[in-house]
Amino acid sequence: MSAGEIHGEVPLMEQILLRIKDLEKETGIKRTILAACPNSRAVIKAALRSAKRCNAPVKFSATLNQVDLDGGYTGFTQQEFVNFIRQEALVINFTGPVIIAIDHGGPWLKDSQRQGRWPYDAAMAAIKESFEAAIDAGYHLIHVDPTIDINLHDNEIISIEVVAQRTVELIAHAENYRRRRHLPRISYEVGTEEVHGGLANLKTFTRFLRLLKEGLYEKAFNDTWPCFIVGKVGTDLHTTLFDHEVAWTLAKIAADYNSYIKGHYTDNVENPEDYPESGMGAANVGPEFTEREYDGLMELEALEENLIRQDKIKDAGQIKKTLRKAVIASGRWKKWLQAGENQEDFSSLDPGRQEWLIKTGCRYIWENPEVVSAKEKLYLNLKKSGIDGEEIVLSHIEHAMEKYFFKFNLFDLNKYL
C-alpha cells in the first residue's frame, strides 16, 4: 500500500483500522495509530524518517491554525502541505501509508476567528471553505469539532444538541462537496477532549453519538460515519497520566457504533503502552515534538558556544535569544496562561513557567523570518566544523516519536498492510 493510496471505496484510514482489527484476531496484538501534529517542517521530516525506520504508517493531524488557506503559522496552504509531505517522503523513499488530516475543524477554533470575534455565519463559511481546500488537496480525514461558541456567557456550556447539529452540517457539506467533485471517500473524526465540548461524561457522550447518527440519517448520509471519536481519557495540557479504565469504557461504547476512540494531549504521557491495551484507535502528539526540537537547537547553541571559545567561529546565531523574543512578541504565550498569571508582563512569571511557555510557544514562530535566519546562521556556523545541525535536531524529535511507534505496537506494521 503506497503513501496515500486509496483502494476501492474504503478510505485509507479505515482500511488500516480494519487490517489492524484482523491482525488482532490473528495475533492478539492491539495497535494504536500515531498522529503527529505537524507544527514545523522539522517535525514532518522527523515523522517520515521515523515511520520509515519503524516500517509503520504515520498520520499527520494539522489544525487550521497550522495549515490553512491563509498559510497558518507553518506557512502552508492545504495543497502546499500535501506537496511538502509527498516530496519529503520521496526524498527518503518512504512508501508506507501516510494519512493527512484536519485537526479540530470548527468555528472559532482558529485563533484569528476567536480573537476577531467573527459572526457565526462567517466562521462556519470559512471552515467549510477550508474543508473544501483540504478535500481538493487530497486529505484523507477531517476532524469536525464545532464545540465552542464565543457567543455563550461565562461558564455556559454549548448544548450537545447544538454540537451534534453543527457536526452533521459540516460533515454533510464536506460529503456533498466531495461527491460533486467525484473525489475518493474520506474518513471523519468527531468530538473533542475539552470540557466545553460537552463530552465530559458517559451519558452525554452516548447521547452525542445517538444524535449524530440520527442527524446523518435524516440528511441521507447513513453510509457516512466517523471512524474516530475523541475521548477525554485523563490527559490534557498539564496532566500526563492516561486513564486506561475510562478509555476502555469509552472504547467499548464507540465499538458499538463501529468507531474507535482517539486521544488528544498525548504529549509526554507517562504510560503510552496502555493506549493499545485500552483499545484506543489513535492518539495525537504535538507540543512534545516542538519541545524536542527546541532541545535540539539548545544542544546546537552549546556546541556553537564551544566553537566560539575555540576561535573557530566569530558570530553566534543567537537562536535562544531570538526564539524567546519572537514567542513573547507573538503574544501566543498568553493563550496558555493559568489563572492568576500576569498577561501583561512575561518577565514577572516564574522562570520555570517562562521556559515552558517559550518551549511550547516556539511552534507558532518557527517560520518567522528572524527565527529562520538565526537557525540558518546556527547551522552554517556548525557546518564549518563538519557538524550537521539539522541531523541533530531531527534526532531529538525522532527519538520522541519512536517511543510512540514502539509503545503503540506499530513497528513493522507495514509488512501486513
Read off the pLDDT of each residue in 240-248 and give the average, rounded to a whole number. Answer: 92
Query: Where does the pLDDT of residue 23 fall: very low under 50, low under 70, confident under 90, or very high at 90 and above?
Result: very high
- pLDDT above 60: residue 161: yes
Name the residue ranges covered by the structural domains of the chain.
Answer: 12-287+409-416, 290-396
Query: Where does the pLDDT of residue 36 fall: very low under 50, low under 70, confident under 90, or very high at 90 and above?
Result: very high
- pLDDT above 90: residue 232: no
CATH superfamily label, 12-287+409-416: Aldolase class I (3.20.20.70)
Read off the pLDDT of each residue in 338-343 and give the average, rounded to a whole number. Answer: 86
Query: Where does the pLDDT of residue 262 fall: very low under 50, low under 70, confident under 90, or very high at 90 and above?
Result: very high
- pLDDT above 90: residue 239: no
Read off the pLDDT of each residue in 166-185 and give the average, rounded to a whole number. Answer: 97
Query: Where does the pLDDT of residue 201 fall: very low under 50, low under 70, confident under 90, or very high at 90 and above?
Result: confident
Q: What is the pLDDT of residues 102-114, one digit of tens each?
A: 999 999 999 999 9
Let me know: does 265 contact 284? Beta carbons within 8 Å.
Answer: yes
Give me the pLDDT at residue 168, please: 97
Q: Label residue 258 left, alpha or beta by phi (over 0 means left) and psi (-120 to 50 means alpha).
A: left
* Number of neighbouring beta carbons within 10 Å of residue 348: 11
Q: What is the rounded distance in angstroms from the CA atom of residue 172 to the CA atom of residue 164?
A: 12
- Which phi and psi (to 5°) does residue 188 adopt? -130, 155
Query: Where does the pLDDT of residue 194 fall: very low under 50, low under 70, confident under 90, or very high at 90 and above?
Result: low
Q: What is the rounded distance in angstroms from the CA atom of residue 93 to the CA atom of residue 281?
A: 27
Read off the pLDDT of each residue in 342-347 and give the average, rounded to a whole number. Answer: 90
For strand 187-190 and strand 98-105, is the pairing parallel, antiparallel, or unpaired? unpaired
Let me know: does 35 contact 283? Beta carbons within 8 Å.
Answer: yes
Q: What is the pLDDT of residues 79-122, one digit of tens each?
A: 999 999 999 999 999 999 999 999 999 999 999 999 999 999 99
Dihedral, 78, 84, 85, 91 alpha carbons, nearest 10: 170
pTM: 0.94
Mean predicted lDDT score pLDDT of the chain: 93
Read off the pLDDT of each residue in 219-227 and give the average, rounded to a whole number. Answer: 95
| Distance, CA of 57 to chain centre | 15
Q: What is the pLDDT of residues 378-402, one digit of tens each?
A: 999 999 999 999 999 999 999 999 9
Q: What is the pLDDT of residues 320-333, one digit of tens each?
A: 999 999 999 999 99
Q: What is the rounded distance in angstroms from the CA atom of residue 403 to the CA atom of residue 15?
A: 24
- pLDDT above 60: residue 197: no
- pLDDT above 60: residue 2: no
DSSP 91-143: HTT--S-EEEEEEEESTT-SHHHHHTT--HHHHHHHHHHHHHHHHHHT--EEE
Give me the pLDDT at residue 7, please: 41
Rg (CA), the chain: 21
For strand 260-263 and strand 58-63, is the pairing parallel, antiparallel, or unpaired? unpaired
